[in-house]
Structure 1
């Protein structure tokens, strides 16, 4: 009798809890499944993971000014109307459409003449990063989902402390959940020396506003407003291949010199002002947006997305790239859990004769996520997509390349979480040479990968197949 009453109460409260918040129907059903299968435990999970952002927090994030960018956005929209922004001889029509898309939905300005360096190895990435920070004379702005208290984390922290002691303005944003084990105490000396560090949705917030499900997954560093880093690498020893569990860590980051750093800087300031106490918020200063001479020939838009906006801007960019492909599509992603629009776009491309190649890891870092990835890999293979399993360690790269013409590098995976739940940032690059470099890197990685077939999935155990199907049901909330 007691069990029946508990079950009935659980059912009633589950329905009241989930349906009272507006969300996609797929996510609603996924949470109902969790709440019904895991009485009591499910409610605890929902309390910490499932509750949506408070309206006050969303408004706080949305109302942050695009410091240093607003005037340029207005100018570029005027240039667009006058067809001066993208002359036909400089860029293909597909790119013109994408630039317009991001300018309208995200106020993402197009910056030209950037110099881009692609970094795929953790040791090389941090070597270059440390050199640039060591040379800083005005400011260093750091934003990472993960900033671990380990060897490389302490090396970076000590370098930041050194620069703060020299009078360089140092600001750090880290995600409290992604950097588990790293506390405010870790940055105490940095703050004593004049630097500042803030946890995104920090642990000091009230319990009622605590949301584990909405994380700042962005990875940005801006140095003196002249050099910027964006991509998939976080700060931790595993990203330098020092983890026995993951082995070699394969990721993709880019180092940018040029005016694209203005957009990265503006994104950092919006995140900082939504995170830091009001007395520490930043306003426009010329030294944060110095005039930069032409460095290269790459045109870039820095595009952000997150639960503070109903428009899934990075996902729209992915769909636009996929739908406009005429020859090939190459994707590297740690998590392959596409929603219906992405799934349909990829399948349509493959059915249309376009070579669609997707590379995924050979091992999980999150069990349910990996099983869901396997489920969708099988589904896409059935539809003619080529799936490659990277076998030389752990693949964490988030890249999309189309036709050697347009590419995207950033923090967003090809999954529900990146599209709807996390705060993400990607660089969309309009440059044939850079696109060719990324496609060649993909081809080199293919030599260290296994092409999966339907037979591979047929040979799996019934239990493994069950875990894949069950994980798929939870896809909208993973």
Structure 2
């Protein structure tokens, strides 16, 4: 009995020393190269659960890829320069007469992602889920040279089957077909997809397959992009993965995708070429993937550019763009996102915009598919409402669309949510269009959201119970880690 008591006494001292060593070590190491809010969240977690917090930090605490991946990333800029070099731009891109504030945003995007503003495009928004699938299938069926597709989630359901069948048909008639799908997002069906496409002529690559030892990968650093490029002439970008609208039982997704024709399609092409290289070390860039010769090839009159962001593009974070656009808004800002866990600069931009008299509306889905995210997201409603932001809870479906409109002349459509995962961990792609006609299309979609949303009232919100507020406050502390 005495020996047992002595053992547990030593064990208690040892574990106490280990816990405090972890806490002090974290205090020295964690604040470096992290935002204060992220560092604070990690420190809170490690203070209360030192060993578990340390394990989670070692697995998830870095936003960098492993060394083998970073070696490929070091070669990526040269691959992208060669790919974009096929797009023979003149001294100007046709965007030289942008309004001054648009020119500043365009310059920011080019500095962040390396893609210039290009004129001569036609962009059309499609918010009908099944229509998007139909039209992507039709575009693949019309392909003559190549079809490049990249999705975070691709499922073998009605939607996924139709797209895979279209790719198989295209490959059978001699079209080069390449498909990228994320290992985690498409984990449910990726092995079945690989078996199906094995002898089809469609080249399939899995993005960052999970490995521990040889060429180990991180489970949380994902490629969240949704891109389709057909013959270098037609492109799709936006929020919609390739699965049926009822992705989860009785949960129907609502999305917005942009169909693009014109030179800016080649910027989507360059992103795909870069991602293909990162997975295969194969440089597929060639003139026949870049059929437009530059701004003189007019498919329309819209000016647009693409911003790729994520760990593969160091220093390029999509929240920098969101924050800049909101700060520079003059009349109106409308945001739509399924996950809203902002960092402090974005939150401050929203407060500042309202203080300047800008009408700010945020559309979020009434209930997300994550309990933790639900509570963390709701923890921001108090200060948003107090600042004067109109918070609209969309009820009809799960609002998975991700877009932003500024005043009446800037539309932003892409794959990025407004949370840390999209800001720092995921590879995302965003399309900016400087055009009033496209913003009018987006306004009609936003107007439909309004009819199907409940506007949150401060009095109603403050009347919620103590337990929901407690859950919100607790999850708020770790929200930078979600």
Query: Is the pair's TM-score, using the shorter chain for normalization, greater than 0.5?
Result: yes
Which stretch shows the higher mean deviation, 259-268 or 53-62? Answer: 53-62
Out of 30, 42, 45, the residue aligned to residue 34 of structure 1 is 45
State the partner residue of 1:269: 273
1:350 Cα deviation after fit: 0.5
State the partner residue of 2:19: 10
State the partner residue of 2:284: 283
1:165 Cα deviation after fit: 2.5
The answer to whether structure 1 residue 474 and structure 2 residue 478 are counterparts is yes
The 1:188–1:438 alpha-carbon spacing in structure 2 relative to 1, beyond 3 Å, is: same
Q: Secondary structure at the residue paired with 2:251?
A: coil
State the partner residue of 2:249: 244
State the partner residue of 1:86: 95
Task: Describe how 1:92-111 pairs up with structure 2 within 5 A.
Answer: 92-111=99-118
1:102 Cα deviation after fit: 1.8
Q: Which consecutive residues of structure 1, in runs of 5 or more, have no partner in the other structure? A: none
Q: Secondary structure at the residue paired with 1:433?
A: helix
Distance 1:177 1:37 in 2: 30
The 1:457–1:200 alpha-carbon spacing in structure 2 relative to 1, beyond 3 Å, is: same
1:40 Cα deviation after fit: 4.5
Q: CA RMSD in A?
A: 2.3
1:56 Cα deviation after fit: 4.1
Q: Secondary structure at the residue paired with 1:66?
A: helix
Is residue 306–residue 419 contact of structure 1 (8 Å, CA) maintained in 2?
Answer: yes
State the partner residue of 1:232: 239
Out of 401, 405, 408, the residue aligned to residue 404 of structure 1 is 408
Out of 66, 72, 82, the residue aligned to residue 80 of structure 2 is 66
**Considering only CA atoms, is the larger Rg found in Structure 1 or Structure 2?**
2
Distance 1:151 1:234 in 2: 13
Is residue 336–residue 373 contact of structure 1 (8 Å, CA) maintained in 2?
Answer: yes
Out of 389, 392, 404, the residue aligned to residue 388 of structure 1 is 392
Is residue 68–residue 262 contact of structure 1 (8 Å, CA) maintained in 2?
Answer: no
Is residue 50–residue 213 contact of structure 1 (8 Å, CA) maintained in 2?
Answer: no
Which stretch shows the higher mean deviation, 409-418 or 26-35? Answer: 26-35
Is residue 59–residue 218 contact of structure 2 (8 Å, CA) maintained in 1?
Answer: yes
Q: Secondary structure at the residue paired with 1:63?
A: helix
Is residue 95–residue 118 contact of structure 2 (8 Å, CA) maintained in 1?
Answer: no
State the partner residue of 2:4: none
Distance 1:231 1:7 in 2: 50
Is residue 303–residue 426 contact of structure 1 (8 Å, CA) maintained in 2?
Answer: yes
Task: Describe how 1:105-120 pairs up with structure 2 within 5 A.
Answer: 105-120=112-127
Distance 1:286 1:182 in 2: 34
Is residue 73–residue 103 contact of structure 1 (8 Å, CA) maintained in 2?
Answer: no
Is residue 412–residue 432 contact of structure 2 (8 Å, CA) maintained in 1?
Answer: yes
Distance 1:347 1:399 in 2: 19
Out of 250, 257, 261, the residue aligned to residue 253 of structure 1 is 257
Distance 1:261 1:417 in 2: 26
Distance 1:115 1:57 in 2: 36
Q: Secondary structure at the residue paired with 1:474?
A: helix
State the partner residue of 2:354: 350
Distance 1:67 1:168 in 2: 25
Is residue 51–residue 211 contact of structure 1 (8 Å, CA) maintained in 2?
Answer: no
State the partner residue of 2:156: 149
Q: Which consecutive residues of structure 2, in runs of 5 or more, have no partner in the other structure? A: 1-8
The 1:264–1:15 alpha-carbon spacing in structure 2 relative to 1, beyond 3 Å, is: farther
The 1:86–1:210 alpha-carbon spacing in structure 2 relative to 1, beyond 3 Å, is: closer
Distance 2:157 2:58 in 1: 30
1:134 Cα deviation after fit: 1.2
Q: Secondary structure at the residue paired with 1:360?
A: strand
1:95 Cα deviation after fit: 1.0
The 1:163–1:105 alpha-carbon spacing in structure 2 relative to 1, beyond 3 Å, is: same
Distance 2:365 2:243 in 1: 19
Distance 1:184 1:108 in 2: 34
Q: Deviations along 1:14-67, whole A, 9 cap, x unmatched?
A: 554682674333222322333343454444433443344234423422421215
Is residue 15–residue 32 contact of structure 1 (8 Å, CA) maintained in 2?
Answer: no
State the partner residue of 1:131: 138
Task: Describe how 1:188-337 pairs up with structure 2 within 5 A.
Answer: 188-203=195-210, 206=213, 209-237=216-244, 240-241=245-246, 243-247=248-252, 249-276=253-280, 278=281, 281-291=282-292, 293-337=297-341
Which stretch shows the higher mean deviation, 339-348 or 283-292? Answer: 283-292
The 1:242–1:342 alpha-carbon spacing in structure 2 relative to 1, beyond 3 Å, is: closer
Which stretch shows the higher mean deviation, 414-423 or 394-403? Answer: 414-423
Q: Deviations along 1:329-387, whole A, 9 cap, x unmatched?
A: 11101111111111111100011111001100011212211211111122211111111
Distance 1:60 1:350 in 2: 44
1:139 Cα deviation after fit: 1.1
1:71 Cα deviation after fit: 3.3
Distance 1:35 1:376 in 2: 24
Distance 1:333 1:140 in 2: 29
The 1:17–1:145 alpha-carbon spacing in structure 2 relative to 1, beyond 3 Å, is: farther
